[in-house]
Amino acid sequence: MGKLNRKQIAWRVAQDIPEGAYVNLGIGAPEMVANFVPETREVVIHSENGLLGMGPTPAPGEENPDLINAGKKPVTLVTGGSISHHTDSFAMIRGGHIDICVLGAFQVSQKGDLANWATLDNSRPPGVGGAMDLAVGAKDVFVITDHCTRDGQPKLLEECSYPLTGTGVVTRIYSDHAVIDIRDNSFIVREIADGISRSELNRITDASLVFSEDCSLMQAPNL
């Protein structure tokens, strides 16, 4: 199968979200996770702009312009969902009530440092949004990212070179090549995509990798 696409990565993340979890989904690829949470699993999805109980993307033609997520994209609200002022929404984050947040990243270090709001490219205006609050307020931080940049530079590093969103906050990375935990200042590979060798994964990672004893294939349906 080779490396996974964005939808497949989002599907893979959704399988690891436990029953009853309160989850925030960042802007971009993380938003797609809401579409793949198993229907039999009750997960409460939160959005910084005041939604609690966010559902999947609405069907074409059924969008409500007054019902959007923090990325300004149309969403649905599940039965029992609620809408609050954004100050109350951030109180949920800062009060430690979010179990998992799923964020994108420019860089992640083996210590769990996260850089996802600014690069060194002045032509790209920075925008932190609620990422700093989420990075330190959520109990677990999952990252969705391509393993490398478009020009082939590793995004998983010994040390981040971009401005940090949070230090030591990332617990798990879902890249297009692997599922990687961060423990004891190390990248621990739990799953690796079919057709990707361990030597190749090492080559495209700018830090040492430890392969778990039960390291398995990273699998997802065709999406």
- CA distance linking residue 51 with residue 45, whole number of Å: 8
pTM of this structure: 0.93
What's the 3-state SS for 84-128? CCHHHHHHHHHCCCCCEEEEECCEEECCCCEECCCCCCCCCCCCC
pLDDT at 69 > cutoff 90 = no
Active-site residue numbers?
48
184-196: per-residue pLDDT in tens?
A: 999 999 999 999 9
Cα–Cα dist 179/107, whole Å: 15
Cα–Cα distance for residue pair 3/9, rounded to 1 Å? 10
CATH topology of domain 6-218: Glutaconate Coenzyme A-transferase (3.40.1080)
| Nearest one of 219, 159, 166, 213 to 189, comparing CA atoms | 213
* The pLDDT value given to residue 1: 61
Per-residue pLDDT tens digits for 96-153? 999 999 999 999 999 999 999 988 877 777 777 788 999 999 999 999 999 999 999 9
